[in-house]
Structure 1
Amino acid sequence: MELWMRWFFLFLLFHFSSSHSLCHTYDAFLLHHFKNSFTIITDYSCYYPKTATWKNETDCCSWVGVTCHPISGHVIGLDLSCSGLSGQIYPNSTLFLLSHLQSLNLAFNIFYPSHFSFLFGRFASLTYLNLSCSSFQGQIPSQLSHLTKLVSLDLSLNPDLKWKEGPWKSLLHNATDLKELVLDDTDMSSISINILNLSSSLVTLSLQGTQLRENLTYGIFCLPNLQHLDLSYNLFLQTHLPKVGCSTTSLNILDLSYSNFQGSIPPSFSYFSHLTFLDLSSNSLVDSIPPSFSNLSHLTSLFLSHNSLVDSIPSSLLTLPRLSFLYIDGNNLSGEIPNVFPQANKFKQLDFSSNNLGGELPSTLSNLQHLTLLDLSRNKFSGQIPDVFVGLTKLSALDISQNNFEGKIPSSLFDLTQLSELIFSFNKLQGPLPKNITGFSSLIILSLDNNLLNGTIPSWCLSLPSLVNLNLSTNKFTGLLSSESSYSLESYNKLQGNISETIFSPVNLTYIDLSSNNLSGYVHFPLFCKLQNLEFLNLSNQFFLNFESNVNCTFSSLENLDLSSTSLTEFPKLSGKVPILILLFLSNNKIKGKIPKWLPKIRSLSMLDLSHNQLEQSLDQFSWNQQLSYLDFSFNKITGGISSSICNASSIEYLNLSHNKLTGIIPQCLANSSFLSVLDLQHNKLHGTLPSGFSKNCLLKILNLNDNQLKGSLPESMSNCITLVGLDFANNQLEGAFPNWLQGLSHLRLLVLRSNKFHGPIENLKTKHGFANLVILDISSNNFSGPIPEVYIRMFEAMKNVVQDEYEEYIKSYSGYDSLTITTKSIVVTMQKIRTDFVTIDLSENRFEGEVPNVIGELHALRALNLSHNTLSGPIPQSLGNLTNLESLDLSSNMLTGMIPTELTNLNFLEVLNISNNHIVGEIPQGKQFNTFSNDSYKGNSELCGFPLTKKCNKDIEEHSPPSVPFKREHGYGYGFGWKAVAIGYGCGMVFGMGMGCCVLLIGKPQWLVRMVA
């Protein structure tokens, strides 16, 4: 009977379905109206034309993306993901009238600027909702919690969606069947996860990049059904990873990367016995990799990159039975790689780069027959590369760059046919490359630069069928560019001759760099037309190349063109030929006249360098491209003023107009820019005052206005530029008191106010900041007075910490101080790059008074100290002997007294010493650097004696001089019984003279007597 009823029901269903249209007429109308409320963007990155099948007079249940109920014909499923829909979803949208929906997917469309409507809560039957990456914004409405049947919710990749505590708690309370919850890149900064209310049915929970800031507790790991947990890219406030509070978990995927965790990895992580994927990368984890990881027997992928893990790689980690992807790069691991690969041959990808691993590579690497990626770069490996590549037939990427490998490249490497990336840069590899090879048929990138390779470059380098990027620069290759050997990237070698046409044989090349060789002849631009995939072309630093200016083809893919230092006398005619050019460097040539009109019309142009030429036009004749972010016109002959039209380049970040002939004032709009990072206007003839109002959104890092004619005071609004690193206002006519408010700029490392009209005392203000990062302070040649401010000196923290031989990154990347002038070692020098270990203080040529503060002796990183030409008094502090890195010390032309402290002989690096024109007395200390200084270091101190002066110490003045009389020192100011009293005795008689001497001994030096004999 039961079987008969089933067959009868199926018969009725078939009869009903075949005699009626499945699509409900009303729902078809709603769908049509919904479709017509949008425009379709066919060039959207995610586009599948689903609505193109939605035709009138066809069954809507047959439309792509539409699912109907088999009996009622109502639409119960709608999937319009990746449909190129563009427009707003308004509250009156017919979408919200599809009341029978059980599944709705609108992901990857552009519904901007649509707010997340409360009407989504009407879909009471909804079990699946996906609105990811669809430009929704606003707060999540509380009505979302009405969807009590939800099994899957995905609102990810909508960064303008914001959660509040109420709707979050209501959703968790009502949606008890929820198994999948994906909220990546929504704003959850104002709510808590509230672990106790998370559904026990959850299988997947992904909250990547949701701005969670609360403490993470262990309970989230112990949800009974949770298998996939992603909490990466958050900023949890806690300092340590939570301990796992349950002995067993269901997790098999766990991602906690980029989440600010510190401390060590808890041993309890061994409880994750079902894990197949674990990512703890880019935190601040320390200590060693815990031995308990050996319990993670199901682990296939482990990411521990970019932490501070130490010790060696545990051999148990490499012998985990299923582990095939291991990334431990960017740590401080040391020691040799465990030689356990005979038992661990299942690896597919190994990344050990950026550690301190050393020693020689184990020969057992040849056992890794499944390996596709091996990255050992940026370590301390040495010795020869073992010839282990015969068995690594699946290897596709090999990077051993930035190590100390030496010797020849193993021959077996050149037989690999699957290899696509080979990077051996920055080692000590030697010998020639082989003349013939059988592999490398899939090679895309070959980088052998910065080694000691020699001989001629074999012809196979440009006959590889898939080659895109070849870098052989900075080796010892020699020979001519001929038809037998052609090249794609060979800067800093010793190549010579003409550029051969055979270089254009590999038509798939995207990157060509022939810079810094001795090439000569003509560059025939039409030959480059063969390379239609060319994206990067660098022919710079070739002093004998000439270019044909006419270009007869379009470089449709070219983005970067560098023709610097190539003796160009005119602009190459590229009008309309480089439609997507981003970077154009024509610096250090001999180009005269004006910038061609076609240049600003390249709308894609972002970086333009025309520095070190002979351009003569006015800036007003230049059309400013809105896309420009980097512009360098320095060292030309550009005239006229800087009009506010310059701010039409609204995206400008780097602007260098230095070393020209500009006049007029600095436009206020430059101070209002919210993008400008480097502004260099030094060595012009600008006048007037500085812009008065710097924007609260100011992002300036470097401001260089040296050597102009600017007047007035520094505007206090400059304190809005909290990212400022370098300020140079030298050689102007600025005035006012010392800008104490600059101490609020916590990143400031360079402050130069030299040769202006600043005046008055520098107040000893109580401060918590006090220029803590300052490494260069030059306020010389002003009218500052009063004592040297000890409070500030105590706060110069960066001057206390010695940094060894590193180039300062901000100066290196933004050449805002290409011609920074500073006085050091008694000479005026121009510094091309400023190193972090170059720490200097110059307070010379002011009116500072009082004693030299002892606290200066705490600035252990000081390289140069100049306090000359002031009215400083008192003794030279013994604490200066603690400045063991000091190279230059100038205390000349003051009123210093006392003796030279013997502690100064500890200054082993001191090259220049000048204490001339003071009141220093006594014997000059001997030994070490003091034996190298000349008389000029001490001139103008009449009571100094000893080498290198001709005046000897403790020598009788005359053969018949009276017996010596005991003397006393008076607070370091000189001798109580000196040569002047003896001179009086010889002039007026022995008796009178000795009487006067006794008077001096008894009562000191009377002022009337001093004046009489002075």
Structure 2
Amino acid sequence: MVWFLLFLHLFLFHFPSFSSSFNFSCHHYESSALLHFKSSFTINSEPAYSYFCDESRLLKTATWKNEIDCCSWDGVTCDTISGHVIGLNLGCEGLQGILNPNSTLFHLAYIQKLNLANNDFSGSYFHSKFGGFLSLTHLDLSHSYLKGEIPTQISHLCKLQSLHLSGSYQYNLVWKESTLKRLVQNATNLRELFLDDTDLSSLRPNSIALLFNQSSSLVTLNLAETRLSGKLKRSLLCLPGIQELDMSFNDELQGQLPELSCNTSLRILDLSNCQFHGEIPMSFSNLTHLTSLTLSYNYLNGSIPSSLLTLPRLTYLGLIYNELSGPIPNAFEISNNFQELVLSNNKIEGELPTSLSNLRHLIYLDVSYNSFSGQFPSSLFNLTHLVTLDCSHNKLDGPLPNKTTGLQKLTNLRLNDNLLNGTIPPSLLSLPFLLVLDLSNNQLTGNISAISSYSLEFLSLSNNRLQGNIPESIFNLANLSRLDLSSNNLSGVVNFQNISNLQHLKFLQLSDNSQLSVNFESSVNYSFFDLMELGLSSLSLTEFPNFSEKLPMLVYLDLSNNKISGSVPNWLHEVDFLRRLDLSYNLLTGDISLSICNASGLVFLSLAYNQMTGTIPQCLANLSYLEVLDLQMNKFHGTLPSNFSKESELETLNLYGNQLEGHIPKSLSLCKGLMFLNLGNNIIEDNFPHWLETLHYLKVLLLRDNKLHGIIVNPKIKHPFPDLTIFDISNNNFSGPLPKSYFKKFEAMMNVTELEYMRNRIWNGDGDGRNPYSSYYDSVIVATKGNKMKLVKIPNNFVIIDLSRNKFEGEIPKIIGELHAIIGLNLSHNRLTGHIPKSIGNLTYLESLDLSSNMLTDVIPLELTNLNSLEVLDLSNNRLVGEIPQGKQFNTFTNDSYEGNLDLCGLPLSKMCGPEQHSAPSANNFCSEEKFEFGWKPVAIGYGCGFVIGIGIGYYMFLIGKPRWLVMIFGGQPKRRVKRRTRMTRNQSSITNQNQNQMVQMS
């Protein structure tokens, strides 16, 4: 009998052609178990994690019929001798439901390979009964939404060779260190272990090596996104047979890259998206079997080791988003196997190495977002296998090579944002397989030659110096989905009918070509069923194009800076997908139609700089997605919208230069993302809106030129306006002391930042998929350096306070000297008294200081000469005395900076300082004078009661207090007294007239 069984075994397994003729029926209880298992779930046509699945797949369970032998069912494998089910593959089957511990699945006691990956078992736990499949060699439960702690029974699966437990979003399996340790110890044949996106946070940093170094069989280990944390030892893993290791997306790992010199068989290594810093270890050059190395998204610095570029089998090197610097070593050998080299988003500099031409097998080269300089190397155009070449966002200059015949396989070429000049080579526009060509933001000149790259889908030549007509051949590019020719010097007439031939067009930008005109035929309804973005700014258009309802997918429309008159057509408000609408700088009239309330998806709306009238519809405050509302410089009247809600996404509200009245709505405080608020130049009558202090992201608060009034009370919260950098409430009727308590809390004004520009990121569905947002820069009109100026882009370091032309009184608080980032300070035309704080001398970035037309006394502090950045100074029309400080910037100011301070002397004034004036009177003397109040008040009284009475009151003060400078005027010899009295009379008259003027200004 034994010999017979041995013979049968040899016959079946060594002669498969014969064994296939034998039919072994599956066992009835296993068939029933499978059918019951199937019936316990619903089947969804869209499986979980469907991007792992074949779209053309057929449902395996559709073949499961009771009358058919289960061994012939799709996804079921039976043992050829016993007939038991030993394999079940239902991956991507769309099963949906709870996997219970009493499931008939666990009746399949002989199963060896089980695949239930990419199904939806949401809410199901990883049951201990999986540990009962003692014959399992392969288990795949990846992306099946299982949750809970891995039971210790999994360590009973001693025959496992492959274990895939990759987690799912929000449903992570959790490992205990002891459970994982027992599994690795018991499963001595384990070759593949995929634990990515499971929770290994309980593992101690240094136990990782202890766990896995015990396994001599592991070939593939995936620990990506497993919440590993802590500082790793440099000698992390020394698995003798490891070939693939992935520890990416563990952003709580620390320290330097581990040493891996012991893993000589390693082929694929991914340590990206962690927190590793320091240099790339030289030991990596010992990984001679390495074919793929990914170290992207870390904090690696230093230079790229040349030995890394000479690894003999390396085909992929990814180092993007690090802090690598220095040049690329000129070390690529002609025998290299590189296919993909990705070095973007670093600080690499110098010229592109000439040995790049040795990369004969290169398919993908990305060195974008670095600091490469020098001419673009013509040798790159000889890499005949190149499919993608991205050298964008560098400092490459010079002309492009004329010959591009080597790039016959190129599909993607990005050289945008460099300093390239010269003309565009015609051969570049005739590459047969080119899909993407981006040469924008360079200094290219000349005409655009005919284009015969008929496969082109993306063409961007914007922000250059191109000229001449747009070639007709562009309108023959039937596959074109994006065309951007904006911001050039193109001329001629474009017939829009030609553009409408491009029926796949999604993005069209022709803006900012001042000599280019677009011809619309009023009788034609243009239809673009796929068009998402249309930019026709600055083209001298006089009317709206007649698109009617033929733009169903339109997301972005820019018709700004034209000469379009009339009212806004209703069809614009009814485009379902419209997100961004810019009609600013036109001649539009009429009201905002209430039909705009139908445009519920609007993110950006600008009607600025038109002649529109009427009231602002209340519904604009209820548009859930609106981030930017710019209606400045129109003729809107009535009150502001008042029904803002906490669901609001509003970031910019600009209503400057209208005729709005009433109160500032308190509901604005619900717009927690508000960064820019400009209500200036209206007729709003209210108190200071202290409720806005809760807006932690507010950078610009501009309320100038209204009828606001009252005292600014102390803040109600601990950290008011922490992000504020522009605070302009000038030309109102505020009174009381300066808001010292707010000055103490302006955190952003205390910290100097690098030059960037305030911007909002507005979604516009960018077609290349790289950046779905575009930048909107808030503009503002401010008064600085004595002039009104419009900032089209507001720098983050443009920090100003303008409280001028109000009725503030009292002293200037010293705390203002701690606002170190401030560049403009205007407190002029108020009723401020006391001296100029010495602390203002600490504002080393200050460019403009205006304290004019107040009642400031004492000397000009010598500390103000520390203001090396000061360009404009106005201290005129105060009561300052003594000698004007000299040196540095103070030597550049003219008389205008000091006029109206009768007791100032020294350059640049013609009045020289005498022996008594050269050294300013001490603070004690000034206290004494102010105590007896000689000066402005008695003279003002005297002006009202008669000049002689005023002098009498002044003389009486002199008799009582005898201030020293009055003794000099009225004392001395009788003959000289007459002359001095005459001089005093002229001066006193000047002071009186000046005081009258100031009283008129302040009233």
The Cα of 1:350 is off from its aligned counterpart by: 1.7
The AA in structure 2 aligned to 1:733 is E
Matching residue of 2:125: 140
Task: Indicate if the aligned counterparts of 2:812 and 2:837 stay in contact, CA closer than 8 A.
Answer: yes
Aligned partners of 2:422, 2:192: CA distance in 1, in Å?
Answer: 55
3-state secondary structure, aligned to 1:981: helix
Are 2:595 and 1:621 equivalent residues in the alignment?
yes
Task: Indicate if the aligned counterparts of 1:762 and 1:789 stay in contact, CA closer than 8 A.
Answer: no
Matching residue of 2:167: 184
Aligned partners of 2:45, 2:367: CA distance in 1, in Å?
Answer: 48
3-state secondary structure, aligned to 1:785: strand
User: Which digits, 9 at most, give the CA deviation of each residue in 1:739-781, with x for residues without a partner?
Assistant: 5x83x655443334545646446548995x4655432233444
Matching residue of 2:456: 467
Are 2:493 and 1:528 equivalent residues in the alignment?
no
Partner residue of 1:194 out of 154, 164, 177: 177
User: Which digits, 9 at most, give the CA deviation of each residue in 1:441-485, with x for residues without a partner?
Assistant: 3322233333344444333xx112433333334444xxxxxxxxx
Matching residue of 2:851: 891
Structure 1 residues 832-911: aligned runs within 5 Å: 832-845=792-805, 851-911=811-871
The more displaced of 72-81 and 259-268 is 72-81
The Cα of 1:683 is off from its aligned counterpart by: 4.6
User: Which digits, 9 at most, give the CA deviation of each residue in 1:578-598, with x for residues without a partner?
Assistant: 343333333333444555454
Matching residue of 1:712: none
Aligned partners of 2:628, 2:195: CA distance in 1, in Å?
Answer: 37
Aligned partners of 1:965, 1:626: CA distance in 2, in Å?
Answer: 69
Matching residue of 1:785: 736
Aligned partners of 2:31, 2:297: CA distance in 1, in Å?
Answer: 59
Aligned partners of 1:391, 1:218: CA distance in 2, in Å?
Answer: 49
Matching residue of 2:767: none
Structure 2 length as normaliser, TM-score? 0.78
3-state secondary structure, aligned to 1:857: helix
Are 2:686 and 1:734 equivalent residues in the alignment?
yes
The AA in structure 2 aligned to 1:891 is L
3-state secondary structure, aligned to 2:379: coil
The Cα of 1:827 is off from its aligned counterpart by: 3.2
Structure 1 residues 665 and 515, CA gap change in structure 2 (3 angstroms): same
The Cα of 1:671 is off from its aligned counterpart by: 1.4
The Cα of 1:321 is off from its aligned counterpart by: 2.9
The AA in structure 1 aligned to 2:458 is N
Task: Indicate if the aligned counterparts of 2:854 and 2:877 stay in contact, CA closer than 8 A.
Answer: yes
Task: Indicate if the aligned counterparts of 2:175 and 2:202 stay in contact, CA closer than 8 A.
Answer: yes
Matching residue of 1:89: 97
The Cα of 1:954 is off from its aligned counterpart by: 0.9
Structure 1 length as normaliser, TM-score? 0.77
Task: Indicate if the aligned counterparts of 1:846 and 1:870 stay in contact, CA closer than 8 A.
Answer: yes
Are 2:499 and 1:508 equivalent residues in the alignment?
no
The AA in structure 1 aligned to 2:675 is I
Matching residue of 2:559: 586
Aligned partners of 1:266, 1:42: CA distance in 2, in Å?
Answer: 38
Matching residue of 2:468: 495
Aligned partners of 1:436, 1:14: CA distance in 2, in Å?
Answer: 61
User: Which digits, 9 at most, give the CA deviation of each residue in 1:352-394, with x for residues without a partner?
Assistant: 3333333333322222222222223333333334443476322
CA RMSD of aligned residues (A): 4.6
Aligned partners of 2:84, 2:354: CA distance in 1, in Å?
Answer: 67
Structure 1 residues 294 and 746, CA gap change in structure 2 (3 angstroms): farther
Task: Indicate if the aligned counterparts of 1:857 and 1:879 stay in contact, CA closer than 8 A.
Answer: yes
Q: What count of residue pairs does the alignment treat as equivalent?
A: 911
Matching residue of 2:957: none
Calculate percent identity across the aligned residue pairs. Answer: 39
Matching residue of 1:480: none
Matching residue of 2:1000: none
Structure 1 residues 331-370: aligned runs within 5 Å: 331-342=322-333, 345-370=336-361
Structure 1 residues 150-549: aligned runs within 5 Å: 156-157=142-143, 161=145, 163-164=147-148, 167-170=149-152, 179-187=162-170, 193-194=176-177, 197-198=180-181, 199-200=183-184, 201=187, 203-208=191-196, 217-221=205-209, 222-223=211-212, 224=215, 225-233=217-225, 238=230, 240-244=231-235, 247-248=238-239, 250-261=241-252, 264-342=255-333, 345-389=336-380, 392-411=383-402, 413-434=404-425, 440-459=431-450, 462-476=451-465, 493-496=466-469, 499-517=470-488, 523-543=494-514, 544-549=517-522
Aligned partners of 1:922, 1:890: CA distance in 2, in Å?
Answer: 19
Aligned partners of 1:585, 1:737: CA distance in 2, in Å?
Answer: 34
Structure 1 residues 622-661: aligned runs within 5 Å: 622=596, 624-636=598-610, 649-660=623-634
3-state secondary structure, aligned to 1:970: helix
Task: Indicate if the aligned counterparts of 2:711 and 2:737 stay in contact, CA closer than 8 A.
Answer: yes
The Cα of 1:886 is off from its aligned counterpart by: 1.2
Task: Indicate if the aligned counterparts of 1:324 and 1:348 stay in contact, CA closer than 8 A.
Answer: yes
Structure 1 residues 816 and 582, CA gap change in structure 2 (3 angstroms): closer
In structure 2, stretches of 5+ residues that fail to align are 13-17, 763-772, 930-961, 981-1003
User: Which digits, 9 at most, give the CA deviation of each residue in 1:316-358, with x for residues without a partner?
Assistant: 2222232221122333323222222237622222223333333
Task: Indicate if the aligned counterparts of 1:188 and 1:212 stay in contact, CA closer than 8 A.
Answer: no
3-state secondary structure, aligned to 2:801: strand
Task: Indicate if the aligned counterparts of 2:606 and 2:629 stay in contact, CA closer than 8 A.
Answer: yes
3-state secondary structure, aligned to 2:781: strand
3-state secondary structure, aligned to 2:845: coil
Structure 1 residues 894 and 946, CA gap change in structure 2 (3 angstroms): same
Aligned partners of 1:96, 1:639: CA distance in 2, in Å?
Answer: 71
The Cα of 1:556 is off from its aligned counterpart by: 3.9
The AA in structure 1 aligned to 2:180 is N
Are 2:887 and 1:935 equivalent residues in the alignment?
no
3-state secondary structure, aligned to 2:278: coil
Structure 1 residues 882 and 664, CA gap change in structure 2 (3 angstroms): closer
The Cα of 1:669 is off from its aligned counterpart by: 5.5
User: Which digits, 9 at most, give the CA deviation of each residue in 1:85-126, with x for residues without a partner?
Assistant: 7xx637899x95566458xxxxxxxxxxxxxxxxxxxxx968
Partner residue of 1:982 out of 961, 968, 971: 968
The Cα of 1:845 is off from its aligned counterpart by: 4.6
Aligned partners of 1:96, 1:351: CA distance in 2, in Å?
Answer: 49
Aligned partners of 1:137, 1:694: CA distance in 2, in Å?
Answer: 42
Matching residue of 2:996: none
The Cα of 1:857 is off from its aligned counterpart by: 3.3
The Cα of 1:899 is off from its aligned counterpart by: 1.7
The Cα of 1:922 is off from its aligned counterpart by: 0.9
Structure 1 residues 603 and 210, CA gap change in structure 2 (3 angstroms): farther
The AA in structure 1 aligned to 2:736 is S
The Cα of 1:864 is off from its aligned counterpart by: 0.6
The AA in structure 2 aligned to 1:970 is N
Aligned partners of 2:114, 2:26: CA distance in 1, in Å?
Answer: 28
User: Which digits, 9 at most, give the CA deviation of each residue in 1:686-734, with x for residues without a partner?
Assistant: 56656656798x652335351487xxxxxxxxxxxxxxxxxxxxx6333
Task: Indicate if the aligned counterparts of 2:534 and 2:556 stay in contact, CA closer than 8 A.
Answer: yes
The AA in structure 1 aligned to 2:758 is E
Aligned partners of 1:950, 1:353: CA distance in 2, in Å?
Answer: 62
The Cα of 1:865 is off from its aligned counterpart by: 1.4
Aligned partners of 1:42, 1:145: CA distance in 2, in Å?
Answer: 23
Are 2:726 and 1:776 equivalent residues in the alignment?
yes
3-state secondary structure, aligned to 2:909: coil
Partner residue of 1:608 out of 555, 558, 581: 581
Matching residue of 2:783: 823
